Structures are given as C-alpha cells and as structure tokens.
A and B are shown apart, each in its own frame.
Chain A
Amino acid sequence: MSASEQELTEFRQQVSAWLADNKPADPGFLLPQSFMEVGTEQQLDFLREWQHKVWRAGYLGMAWPKAYGGGGVAPVFQSIVDAEMRRHAVPICFNVIGLGWAGPLINHIGSEEEKARYLKGILTGEDIWCQGFSEPDHGSDLGNAQTRAVRDGDEYVINGTKIWTTMGNFAKYMILLARTNPNTERKYDGLSFFLSPMQVPGIEARPIRKLTGEYGFTETFFTDARIPASCLMGEEGQGWKIAMQTLQYERGAEAGAAGGLAFERVVIDDMIDDVRDLTRDGEPLLSDPVVRDELVQLIMAEKAGALNSKRAAIQALNTDYPFSLPLSHKLAFSEHGRLMRRFAIGLQGAAGGLYVGDGQARQGGFWQRAYFNNFSTTIGGGTSQVQANIIAEHVLGLPK
C-alpha cells in the first residue's frame, strides 16, 4: 500500500503546522547540539519532555510496529517528519542510542519478549539507552574488548571498564559488548552482546568533562556487577556480529531508525546568513574572491551529500561499487561538518577567538562550540581514519 502524492503533501503540511505550534521556546540555557552532549539534568528534562511530546503526537517511531508503541505506517512518513523537523530547526530527539541503534537492532533480531519489553520505552524517552563498546585500551580495535562476562547460574557477572559512554550516567539500559570466552583463537569469537540494565550494584558511571568544557559521556566501571542471564542477546560468541550490525545503524548504512533529529541543524545556509554582515579589508566579506571560492566548495560538498542520498536509491547508478555510498556517508558527512564549522570561525576575524560565555561572541559562540562538538562524529562511531580503512577494504577490495 503506497501513499499518494496528495496524501504525503497533506501530511507534510500537517506536520509543519504541528511543529510551528509546538516548537519549544528557547529555554534560556544552552541546549546540546547532539545527543552526545547531554550533560545536565536540566537539559535532560527539557529534551525528554520534547521527545515525549513528539511521540505522543505520533511523529516518532512511525514505521515501528504499533504493538510496541510505533505507528505502523510506511517509513516515508517518518522521513517527511524528520525533514520538517530539520527545516523547523526544532530540538533533537535525544534518546538516539535507543531510537537509532538498539531499537532497530531489537526490532530486526530481538525476541518477542525483548521487543515487548524495550521498544516502547525507547520511543517515549522513559528508558534512556547507552552503548558500552569502547574501552580505555580498545577503541578502534574494538574486537579486542576485554570487559569480562562470566556466567554464574542464571546471572552473568561483569567486570571491566567501558569509556566514552554517552549518557552513561542517565541511562537505564546499555548495549554491552563483553567477553564471555577469553580463550578463542579469533579475538572476535569470544565476544557476546547484552541488553544490560544500568541500575544494578557494581556499575558506576563517572562523568568525563569534554573538550567544550561540558559533559556528555562517562567512564563506566563494572565491579562484580550481576545481570540476569536473559540479558544475553542471541547466543554467546555472537557479540561481534551483533555489534557490527549495530554499527551499521550507527553509521547510517542501514535503515530502521525510529526517526527524530540526532543533531541540531547546522547547515551552510545558516553559516552564510551568519556572516553576511561581516567585512574583510573593509569590504563585505561575501565579496572577497577567496572566501567566495571556499564557500562554493563547501556548498558543493553539502549538496553532494544530499544528491548522494538520492542516488543511493537508484540501483542502475550504483553498479560499480554498490556499497560505496552507504559506507562512505558517515565519513563524508562528518568531515564536511568539520571543515565547514572550522571555516565559519575563521570568517569572524578577531571575534573568532571568542567562546561561549563571552557577550561579544558571534551567535553566542555557536560555531566555535559546533566545531568542537563535530569531533564527536569524526571520532565516535569509528574514527574517520578507520572509516577510510573500511571503505578501502570493503568497497575497493584493498588488502588489510
């Protein structure tokens, strides 16, 4: 059953009207620019309320099954909502590890019981999820993760340390990658995947202060923490396979996300608008030929991203390297974001040296903060360098 053009147009108008009416007013404190920067209770309460409101209106998880709190309609409706949210520059739906990664995973490979138990709370924002993959000594080399999970009766006992755990201090659940067998020949085969509770004795999440001076992630210590054996997803030894599938969602190479914005809107249009009043050498900044050429290149990069998404859906135009566009999306998007924001600061003249908190910082230091925060996308979810390795090996077929 496919929706008619007219139906979609009407839906778009309806969403747009709802967003115009319901977009929250500026709360008067700094909001996170992405789900990786929720640092205070105040921010959390605000975002939770917003996400709940979006869900109540029927605009989140639209393509997820009705039985689990979703809308049960075609994904195109959620795409329309997401595009309108971006256009209206509304706040993010913060519970991204649930909405975008754990949720789709549970939807696709979870048991009936797991779906019934977890999915709705992800959508409502009640159950915050975090991800326990990275460890202090094993980041890019994730397959080497050493956090131990030892079966003891109908429990697993967890010991070890995870780090860079986004929202680790707020989360109710964690997707956890831990080693159930330290003696396998291949390091990957000893890993298992858990849907673990966070509020149990022996788990401590200590906030870490970030580059920006704000908070958002934790170092997460497991000391003889006992979790029910039923938290194991799939079977022991399947952890790597499941973790890789999770990363596919995280890197945007596979569909299934509940929707909502994971990042505050930062687009080149806003950047250009923000510098129109500036001068360079006493002339309007935007008349400077060097600046103009740089801007055109950034505009092209952003437009290429949008066009790539369209082309990815046309099979006849993806015959050479079918996985090229899905696998390179994250790298292209995150690196463009970095260059654009860095350039935006450079355009500000002496004001580029100011930061959030200075009364004269342009746009309140928005671009400075946005530049720093962009590293969450070039480092988190697999660094750009590791992404380039993956593309070289899996798309171009180059040797390891």
Chain B
Amino acid sequence: MSVINNTTLVFDEDQAMILDVARDFCRQRSPISAVRAQLDTPLGYDEALWQELVGLGWPGLALPASVGGSGLGIRHAVGIAEAMGRAMLGTPLISTTLAAQLVARATAEARVDEFLADVAAGVPATVALLEGPDWGADTCQCLFDEGGVLQGAKQYVPDAQAAGWFVVVTRHHNLPALALVRASQLRDGAISPHTLIDETKRAATVDFTGVQLTPDAIIAGEQVTVALCDFYLLGALLTAAEAAGSAGACLDTTVDYLKTRKQFGKLIGSYQALKHPCVDILMGVDAARSFVYHAASLLDDGAFDRDAEIACRMAKAQSSEVLLQAGDRAVQFHGGMGFTYECDAQLYIRRAQWSSQQFGDALHHRKRLAALLLDAAA
C-alpha cells in the first residue's frame, strides 16, 4: 500500500454554504479592532456576538436534532473553525464543539441529553484534560472516590472561565472515564486563570476537589477510550483549521505592508528576500488547507480509521508549522513596527505559539505519523 494512499477530498454544497456564511459573519463581526477590544476582558469574547453565533446554530451543528442540534456531520464545523481563525475570533466555540463531540462519541445514553441540549442552546462547555504540559502523557490523578467525590485539578483547561459545563477526563476501574460537572458545582476560587501567550484565548487551572458527582454524571466503558482517541484527533484538526485560517490572514497582513512601505525609494515588496518567503508561506497555507479539508472529508460520526488519523495529524503538523513561520516572518517583515504591540503581527505570532501547543505540536504528530506510515507496511 502506498504511503500516500487515501487522497479523498470532497466538499459538498452544505459545507460550501456554511463556509461562505462563516467567512462573511467573521469578516463583519470580528474586524481586528473588535479582536483587540477583547484582549484584556475576562472572558475574551463579546457575549452578544456569542449569542449571534448560537443563533446561527454553530454550537449544535454536529449534534442530533433530538437535542436541538442541526444533525450535520462534524466535517461541517471545520470551515467555521478556519473562518474564525482567519478573523482571529476567539469565543469558546471550538472548546464547546469538542466537549460535545467527546461526550456524544463516548455514549449514546439519554442521560447526557441534558448536557448536549445545553450545548446546542449555547451554554459553553470544555474538556478538562491535561494535568501537565505533555500532550503525550496519559497520567491521570484527577479521580473520584467511591462516594463519587472528585479530587484533583486540571491545567490548561480552555475557556474554563466561560464554561457552564466541564467534561472532566478521569478514570474508573482503571480505564478512562468522563465526569460531567456543572460550573455551579465548583467551589469559589476553583478557577485560576492562566496568563496566555495568545491574548485572544482563555484557559485556566481548575480544581475539581470536592465536587460531588451523581452516578448519572459518570460516563465509563470501553467506548470512552475510543472517544478520547478521536477527541485528540478532532482537537488537532479543529485547531489546525483555525491555524490555517490565521496563517492566511497573517500572510495578508504582511503582504499589505509590503505593498505600502517604501525603503531605498522602492516598495519593500519588490525585494525578493521578502517576496520569496511570502510565496513559501502561501504554499504552506495551501498545503495546510488541503490537508484540513482532506481530513474533514474522512470524518463521520463513527470511530476514526487509520486514514482519518493520518489526515488529522498531517493537518495539524502542517498548519502549526506554517502559522509559526507566518507569524515569525510577519514580525520581521514589519521592521521596528513589527516589534510593537500596536502592529497586528503580534496577534499572529502569539496565536502561532499558542496554537502550536494545542493537541500536540508538529513534532508530536510527525512522530506518530512515522509509526503509522513507516512501520505498518514493514
């Protein structure tokens, strides 16, 4: 079997329409001035804008109609993530989408319907997963006792400050399990916000110690393990889509400057030392988008297969790398202006570092790709 193998890339009319709507919405509602206005707010987004986005049906896009969702596949969320990345629009949409996917994939039982219905109605949710900085670690100290009382904290919980629901990754009978926790169950001071490199994003350490779980709130069983694997991949893919969008916007920002700034009597964009790296970035963004939409083409509601895993990992590896390069060159190519807080290059270089570290960086994914691509056929 070829290492290239599956090159499926389909994009249906629904996806095209959603992408179009999402791009228009983000362009109009999230100009850079609006992004900047949220940099130092506690939640990092405008509640009115979130409600509009809920009105468009985005949080429930991939949830079944029975809980108030639109019943579309998760692939439809990919274009939205890209459009939001392009506009540098934060909001808890990605966290919420991922939390809902994790739960919906972990169990089909009706007892999670209330959670899913809340998500579809626009209550932000997030997954509390990491206990340290290592995306490849699977240690889990956040456990519950026989009485259902949780003990332990989670770090890097995205959008914890906004979340109405937490999906806590824990263990039960030595297997991965999930616990559904409402924000109202947390004690005062349980959420300690991180200071993030990307000021458009929010995350916090959340201490779940003392939270009393009802039996209904615990999701256990083999299906959770499968759902978690898919969650990691889906997280990588949505982050990749967002990063591809940000990289495209970052390139545009740089190119605009190169078309207006003059030195030595010439527009600096005429210098090949600036031109050619821009072309490299353009081609990198092109590759990232192709991987992202290829991966989207392979996703459905079932467990992800090997091809889908390869696709998600390639999407993340490529998008992370190109956004890092785009942000880095954006600063450099703006000269002294690039070193200022006022210059938008700072938004992108910060996003690049943050985004690279979500769901594993390029090296993390390439290491796993090596095993998938080079060992299987050996």
Q: Interface of A with B (CB < 8 Å)?
A: 267-269, 272, 276, 286, 289, 292-293, 295-297, 299-304, 306-308, 310-311, 314, 316-317, 320-321, 324-325, 328, 331-332, 385, 388-389, 391-392, 395-400
Contact = CB atoms under 8 A, between A and B. Distances in A.
Contacts of B270: 398-400
- Could you say which of A272, A303, A328 has the most chain B C-beta atoms within 10 Å of its C-beta? A303
B291 A307 contact: yes
A392 B278 contact: yes
22 contacts: A267-B4, A269-B3, A286-B378, A289-B367, A289-B370, A295-B373, A296-B366, A297-B366, A303-B4, A307-B294, A314-B293, A316-B16, A316-B19, A317-B289, A317-B293, A320-B248, A391-B279, A392-B269, A396-B251, A396-B278, A398-B270, A398-B278
Contact of A321 (B282, B366, B369, B375): B282
B318 interface: yes
Contacts of A399: 259, 266-267, 269-270
B7 A310 contact: yes
B370 A296 contact: yes
B102 to A, nearest CB: 27
Main secondary structure of the interface of A (DSSP, over half): helix
Contacts of B11: 314, 316-317
Contacts of B183: none
A300 B289 contact: no
A209 B323 CA distance: 44
B218 to A, nearest CB: 39
Interface string B14-29: 0110011000000000
Nearest to B7: A306
Interface in B265-286: 266-267, 269-270, 272, 275-276, 278-279, 282-283, 286
B9 interface: yes
A328 B286 contact: yes
B317 A300 contact: yes
A389 B9 contact: no
Given A293-B366, A297-B366, A314 B7 contact: no
B293 to A, nearest CB: 6
Contacts of A297: 366
Nearest to A308: B290
A171 to B, nearest CB: 34
Interface-central residue, A289, A320, A331, by most chain B CB under 10 Å: A320
A268 B286 CA distance: 21
A308 B285 CA distance: 11
B291 to A, nearest CB: 6
A308 B284 CA distance: 11
B143 interface: no
- Among A268, A292, A396, max chain B CB count under 10 A is at A396
Contact of B287 (A304, A391, A400): A304
Interface centre among A296, A299, A306, A308 (most CB of B within 10 A): A296
A311 B272 contact: no
Contacts of B2: 267, 269
A269 B9 contact: no
A268 B363 CA distance: 20
Given A296-B370, A388-B276, 13 more contacts: A268-B4, A296-B373, A297-B366, A304-B291, A306-B4, A310-B7, A314-B9, A314-B11, A316-B19, A317-B293, A392-B269, A392-B276, A398-B258
B216 to A, nearest CB: 43
**Which 4 residue pairs spanning A and B have beta carbons closest together?**
A304-B287, A307-B290, A316-B16, A310-B9
B3 A299 contact: yes
Contacts of B287: 300-301, 304, 307-308
Interface string B337-378: 000000000000000000000000001001101100111001
A269 B4 contact: yes
Contacts of A395: 279, 282
B237 interface: no
Contacts of A396: 251, 255, 278-279, 282
B282 A328 contact: yes
B314 interface: yes
Interface of B: 2-4, 7-9, 11, 15-16, 19-20, 248, 251, 255, 258-259, 266-267, 269-270, 272, 275-276, 278-279, 282-283, 286-287, 289-291, 293-294, 314, 317-318, 363, 366-367, 369-370, 373-375, 378
Contacts of A391: 279, 282-283
Given A295-B370, A300-B318, A303-B7, A311 B289 contact: yes
Contacts of A321: 282
Given A293-B367, A295-B370, A311 B290 contact: yes
Contacts of A317: 11, 289, 293
A306 B7 CA distance: 7
B219 to A, nearest CB: 35
Contacts of B370: 289, 292-293, 295-296
B324 to A, nearest CB: 15
B249 to A, nearest CB: 10
A324 B258 CA distance: 18
Given A293-B367, A396-B255, A308 B286 contact: yes
A325 B3 contact: no
A272 B3 contact: yes
A385 B291 CA distance: 26
A392 B279 contact: yes
A88 to B, nearest CB: 14
A272 B272 CA distance: 35
Contacts of A286: 374-375, 378
Contacts of A331: 279, 283
A296 B369 contact: yes
- Residue in A272, A295, A300, A396 with the greatest tally of chain B CB atoms within 10 Å: A300
A398 B259 contact: yes
Given A296-B369, A399-B269, A332 B374 contact: no
A389 B291 contact: no
Nearest to B267: A399
A385 B289 contact: no
B80 to A, nearest CB: 14
Given A272-B3, A391-B279, A310 B290 contact: yes
Nearest to B266: A399
A301 B272 CA distance: 24
B286 to A, nearest CB: 6
A299 B282 contact: no
A400 B9 CA distance: 35
A332 B314 contact: no
Contacts of B293: 311, 314, 317
A332 B283 contact: yes
A389 B367 CA distance: 35
Contact of A388 (B4, B19, B275, B378): B275
Contacts of B369: 296, 299-300
